[in-house]
Structure 1
Amino acid sequence: MSLTGTPFLVTAACLLVVAFVLPLALWSRLRGPALVRGGTRVLMLLFAQITAITVVFVAVNNANGLYDTWDDLLGTGDHSGAAADLGPDGTGGQKLSEQPKQPARFTPVTDARMGEGVRVTQLRGRISGVEGEVYVWLPPQYDDPAYRDKKFPVVELLPGYPGSAKAWFGALEVNKQLKPLMEQGKVKPFILVSPRTNLLGDQTDSGCANTPGKVNAETWLSVDVRRMVSDTFRASDRAADWAVGGYSAGAHCAARLAVAHPDRYRAGVSLSGFNDPNGEPAALTAATPELRRANNPYLLLKKATDAGKPPRTALFVSGAAGDGYESGTALKSVAKEPTTVRVVKLTGPHGTSVWKQQVPEVFRWLSEQVGT
């Protein structure tokens, strides 16, 4: 039974009702020695507590898109592949542009919470070796005959950790919110792409980085997924037509990828993120001071700026005080043209309810930055 499916939630709710009724019906009717009666009553109470906790967990998990599968929850799944050392640029010397196209096969999703039009494929990265699902939503203009010769801009969307690739379409309802805005011409017709980021089977966050021998997450996101999308759909492969966005740990990843790879992304969106990987203690990139420095978007941007090579990238950073705002002001303090940083101060909790409200503003901003 699926962890995120309605059947599991209904089953858990039914068991909770049973757990509530059992003590009322049987408490005074139990027979036998006092020890047996006492033990049975304790078991009934434990059953009630466990089912109550389960219902709350399932409801919270479904609302926030934390764990997609039982393997993710239990730490028994591994999507990393062999994780060869791919060098500084993450390509291992391979040039995808010289390889034949390999369009992926997509099927419609069956999860009604994700709305209409979302499709999914299982992708094995040709360079990263990572294998996982990738969700795609096409804008309403995609099948319009007037756009048959157009290549569309793309936004790659990353969840937090733990987090499901479904969350942007489920909890944040990005496609439901953007469809009318795209139809009205208030937002550009972006292709939306959400790949799996929970890649390791030991409950460790990859930090969206390449770690030889562990996982090549950066290559998976910024090379393999990009190439698959441009091979399969009428999607532009120009850096000027691509953006990457995320929330929480995914926000950190988005900012770092945008700063480190202006040759792949024109813009990055960070919602309640952090610069220092130590903000996510479970991340591989937080293991040593060297890794923390190498994967800190603030330090990456400062280094490039100090060297007289500020990247041509635009960053949108939002967060509350102590929850992403300071990360944005730090990035802005070292940014020089052509780098631009927009910082938005928020109030509210660190949660999907806040990030969901930002979707229209974020995509209006992206419409000004990407595809121009």
Structure 2
Amino acid sequence: MGLTSNKMLALTILCAVLLFVGTVWLWPRLARRNWRAVSGRVGLLLATQLALFACVGIAVNQAFGFYASWADLMGTETDQGVVVDHTPGGSAAGPVRLVTTSEVHGMGGSLPRTAGQIQQVDIVGRTSHIATPAYVYLPAEYFQPQYRTRTFPVMVVLSGYPGTARALVDKLHYPRTAQHLVQAGRMRPTILVMLRPTVAPPRDTECVDVPHGPQTETFFAKDLPDAVRAHYRGDGKPGGWGIVGDSTGGYCALKLAMHHPAVYGAGAGLSPSYKAPKDPTTGDLFQGDQRLKNRANLWWCLAHEPAPDTSLLVTSSKIGESDYKDTLKFIARVQATNRTRISSIILDSGGHNFNTWRREIPATLQWISGRLAGR
């Protein structure tokens, strides 16, 4: 039974209810002062509390998409390692392998040419040798005859850490929001490539080329654009792509746009951090390489490297976000470069959660689309 399934949540709630009822029913029998009665009371209370904790944990995980499976939760997920598949004949397989397709819910239709399509795919990096799952949203116009020779702008959409790519579809509603914006004339039809920044789970690589480890930045800067353009009618013009993410994904989006402006003409960080942390989930990302460590620090980049020709957007909240002061400081630092363009969304209040990001996503998608429209 899957960690994110409704059956698991229902079973956990049922266990909690039965334990509560059992505790109330058996409490008179356990009211004595001998060790058996005391042990029984402690056991029932502990079991009930654990069941309630499990209910809350599973419900929160379903709402925010922290972990996709039991293996992901336990840190034993290894099936998406660093591998490259090859055909039996010896030639390299295609960089994008289609797994399944689905419709965009809430669009009032099931035909791709009217409601668009979501494709679950596996993407293989030819240079980084990283393989990772992703969801690709193709707008309705992609399937319409009058657009069959047209290329489309591309936005890479990143979750936070640990996060799940599916949450970008089901919880943050990126495809549905993009489709509504296109219908309202506020956004160009755009391909969305939605995935986790954690392309070598369970490690949090912070989109860094780890020495002797996952070459995550190379994957996002070179392999992913090459793979998408080889399989889809994605824009190939310099700086013609955009990238957006929340939390860790927001940091990655800003860093990739700053490091690779020839690829990403616009980058948006929703509640981002501004440098890579060092903790048990990341390990030692830099292996003593000071230059690599400096490059992963956006403050250092702004102070010591030429300002990139790209557009950045950052979001935060006056109440509820711990990065509010850092975000204001980052805006001021970018403004001082007189080359990199900076915009922001600052809410009066909003926590580090999906509800806050859903309030920011429509304006963010419109902003990125506008920055890429003239390229």
Question: Shorter chain as normaliser: what TM range?
Answer: 0.7 to 0.9
For the 8 Å contact 1:331–1:341, the answer to whether it is kept is: no
Describe the shift of the 1:220–1:19 C-alpha distance in structure 2 as closer, same or farther (beyond 3 A): farther
- Which stretch shows the higher mean deviation, 269-278 or 282-291? 282-291
SS at 1:350 equivalent? coil
Q: Between Structure 1 and Structure 2, how many residues are aligned?
A: 350
Q: How far off its partner does 1:193 sit? A: 0.9
**Structure 2 Cα separation of the partners of residues 229 and 2 of structure 1:** 30
Q: How far off its partner does 1:30 sit? A: 6.1
Q: How far off its partner does 1:140 sit? A: 2.1
**Structure 1 Cα separation of the partners of residues 57 and 347 of structure 2:** 27
Partner of 2:88: none
1:240 counterpart = 2:248: no
Partner of 2:98: 105
**Structure 2 Cα separation of the partners of residues 112 and 51 of structure 1:** 33
SS at 2:243 equivalent? strand
Describe the shift of the 1:100–1:133 C-alpha distance in structure 2 as closer, same or farther (beyond 3 A): closer
Q: TM-score, normalised by structure 2?
A: 0.83
Partner of 2:252: 253
Structure 1 residues 309-337: Cα deviation after superposition (integer angstroms, max 9, x where no partner): x3221111111354152353244234323
Partner of 1:216: 215
Q: How far off its partner does 1:100 sit? A: 8.8
**Structure 2 Cα separation of the partners of residues 343 and 121 of structure 1:** 32
1:158 counterpart = 2:158: yes
Partner of 1:175: 175
**Structure 1 Cα separation of the partners of residues 93 and 213 of structure 2:** 28
Describe the shift of the 1:63–1:279 C-alpha distance in structure 2 as closer, same or farther (beyond 3 A): farther
Partner of 2:297: 296
Q: How does 1:320-331 map to 2 (within 5 A)?
A: 320-321=317-318, 322-324=322-324, 325-326=327-328, 328-331=330-333
**Structure 2 Cα separation of the partners of residues 118 and 38 of structure 1:** 56
**Structure 1 Cα separation of the partners of residues 346 and 286 of structure 2:** 26
Q: Which runs of 4+ in 1 moved over 4 A?
A: 29-33, 99-103, 109-113, 279-282, 284-289
Q: TM-score, normalised by structure 1?
A: 0.84
1:332 counterpart = 2:334: yes
Sequence identity percentage: 29
1:77 counterpart = 2:77: yes
Partner of 1:359: 361
SS at 1:239 equivalent? coil
Describe the shift of the 1:330–1:252 C-alpha distance in structure 2 as closer, same or farther (beyond 3 A): farther
Structure 2, unpaired ranges of 5+:
85-91, 111-116
For the 8 Å contact 1:245–1:268, the answer to whether it is kept is: yes
1:317 counterpart = 2:314: yes
**RMSD, aligned CA:** 3.0
Q: How does 1:1-372 map to 2 (within 5 A)?
A: 1-29=1-29, 34-78=34-78, 79-81=80-82, 102-108=95-101, 117-201=117-201, 204-278=203-277, 282-283=281-282, 284-285=284-285, 290=290, 291-305=292-306, 310-321=307-318, 322-324=322-324, 325-326=327-328, 328-337=330-339, 339-347=340-348, 348-372=350-374
**Structure 1 Cα separation of the partners of residues 241 and 260 of structure 2:** 11
Give the AA of the match of 2:247: S
**Structure 1 Cα separation of the partners of residues 20 and 288 of structure 2:** 49
Q: RCO higher in 1 or 2 (8 Å CA, sep ≥ 6)?
A: 1
